[in-house]
Structure 1
């Protein structure tokens, strides 16, 4: 197995998997704005193994794994790794879908979602619920690893109702995942409160004593590149994953670019819209784009009015007409 997670010589920065956010379009946009060697890994949206295993439902679920040719070219040019993130609760189905993905796609790795805190997902025993079922969690990792030559990482949290970081991470280390990405919150915390980087530091200390070759990356409340570097120094993590920080600044991975003009923001919004239309026109709901408009249109006079106006548009032509009028 070629474990790219162990090949980096500098602190690793990644863009977190996010539903209805990190599709092929947004990944390409973010990579296009990144400075060289500031973004190392990107992830797909969450992909259900049960959905992929269903002969009827597979086509729709597989939309999460689409990679545009233009994104493929950019990944190669920049040397960024692309990881498919999968979720579910059945080890056998994980095995089947890991084998299917390996055969039919060209990803650099597979990541198992053991962190999503959403209640309806938790109730069916998937994602963060697996923290409470460590034996099944280990079965899932082993079953996935058996099905692929790709490195299999795990993204998870520090506990369910309370932090059980050391016990939980010790369980995961037993099955040698390629890497562990740890969000410094419990399932119950959802996205509330402060991410607990002291807990992430505990995980680093534990893996250093038990399995020092396994990288641990931290996730939670990192809103600038420098803050990420500081977290690396403070905790000893091998890398930092960025989630909501990208919404505050889509240029997150270009830390030298501190001044972004109104024209640059509008240009990026229009580029995103055209690429989204080209990729998803007639497939995905146009209104998904509006969450992105909010992140481009800020920090300049009149931004609030532009945001408000664009929340009222109904289709692609209206967006293009608005900025050409």
Structure 2
């Protein structure tokens, strides 16, 4: 298995793994409306290795690893790589589940979450808590690498209570992960304050000093493709991972700024809803979709009123009926 990380022409652009966001439906939508040269990597939602290792929990947890046939076709057509992101704190379980995912699923890589700042996860000793447990973190990375031929990367933060970039990145580099994505906030910040890109640049310098050819991606507060490209030049990173920026503009991954019309925005809203219904109808809570509607319903007359109406919708049919009153799409009500 080749290491695709080294084959992508920089700047590498990625959509971050996000809870209840980057499921197969949203990934497919973003892939479809993005230029293939502007979007290289997609990630699954966070997948708990402990859950995957539990006979009763596996069925529900493994939903995060579902890839629809239509998404797979789009990714293949555009040459976009799909990476499974996993989390936990037991090296032996990482080894087992990494091997299982590699053999039973069709992903291009494995990414280890060492950056999620959510308090109840940190209390378990997982994700960003591993920044203060470097020996355990190294053991997890090495166990995962041993279990698969897929490239194993790491997504993390600069520290827990304060920036410890130099100590932490050097410890990660010792395990030679396929890539490191660094969010420029400490765990205590959660999503507050500004991401410190000078700390991310420090990680690039540390990588360079090590003599290793390991891509370093930066993450945090990037709201446009042009800004992402500028940051690769300004801070020396090999690429940028976009998280909340996609909520400002789902057409983010396009080198030419997109100005979608009202009709185009509503068409994507309907398409996203149809994908979600096809993939998750009767399985996932319909209300998960509502967090997405505000990213399509904005910037045009009557948007605020329509958003309010959509927030009151109770079913897919309600959404289709509300949008049909706004604009007609060919066969848009067909699931």
> In which range does the TM-score fall when normalised by the shorter chain?
over 0.9
- Over 3 Å counting, the alpha-carbon distance change for 1:255 and 1:306 in structure 2 is farther
How does 1:80-95 map onto structure 2 within 5 Å?
Answer: 80-95=80-95
Indicate the residue corresponding to 2:51 in structure 1.
51
Deviation at 1:235, TM superposition (A): 1.0
Q: Deviations over 1:278-303 (max 9, x none)?
A: 00000000000000101111111111
Indicate the residue corresponding to 1:8 in structure 2.
8
Q: Deviations over 1:40-90 (max 9, x none)?
A: 000000000000000111000000000000010011100000000000000
* Residue 252 in structure 1 maps to residue 220 in structure 2: no
Residue segments in structure 2 that go unaligned for 5+ positions in a row: 326-335
Indicate the residue corresponding to 1:301 in structure 2.
301
* Aligned residues between the structures: 325
Indicate the residue corresponding to 2:20 in structure 1.
20
Indicate the residue corresponding to 2:97 in structure 1.
97
Indicate the residue corresponding to 1:215 in structure 2.
215
Aligned equivalents of 2:98 and 2:282: distance in 1? 29
Indicate the residue corresponding to 1:64 in structure 2.
64
Deviation at 1:324, TM superposition (A): 2.0
Indicate the residue corresponding to 2:329 in structure 1.
none
Q: Deviations over 1:209-231 (max 9, x none)?
A: 10431110000000000100111
SS in structure 2 of the partner of residue 86 of structure 1? strand
Given that residues 156 and 183 in structure 2 are in contact (C-alpha distance below 8 angstroms), is that contact kept between their aligned partners in structure 1? yes
SS in structure 2 of the partner of residue 251 of structure 1? coil
SS in structure 2 of the partner of residue 111 of structure 1? strand
SS in structure 2 of the partner of residue 185 of structure 1? coil
Deviating runs (4+, > 4 A) in structure 1? none
Question: Pairwise CA RMSD of aligned residues?
Answer: 0.8
Given that residues 36 and 79 in structure 2 are in contact (C-alpha distance below 8 angstroms), is that contact kept between their aligned partners in structure 1? no
Given that residues 173 and 211 in structure 1 are in contact (C-alpha distance below 8 angstroms), is that contact kept between their aligned partners in structure 2? no
Aligned equivalents of 1:65 and 1:36: distance in 2? 22
TM-score (ref. length: structure 2): 0.96
Aligned equivalents of 2:316 and 2:255: distance in 1? 31
Given that residues 46 and 86 in structure 1 are in contact (C-alpha distance below 8 angstroms), is that contact kept between their aligned partners in structure 2? yes
Given that residues 152 and 179 in structure 1 are in contact (C-alpha distance below 8 angstroms), is that contact kept between their aligned partners in structure 2? yes
Residue segments in structure 1 that go unaligned for 5+ positions in a row: none
Indicate the residue corresponding to 2:176 in structure 1.
176
Aligned equivalents of 1:18 and 1:36: distance in 2? 21
Aligned equivalents of 2:46 and 2:253: distance in 1? 22
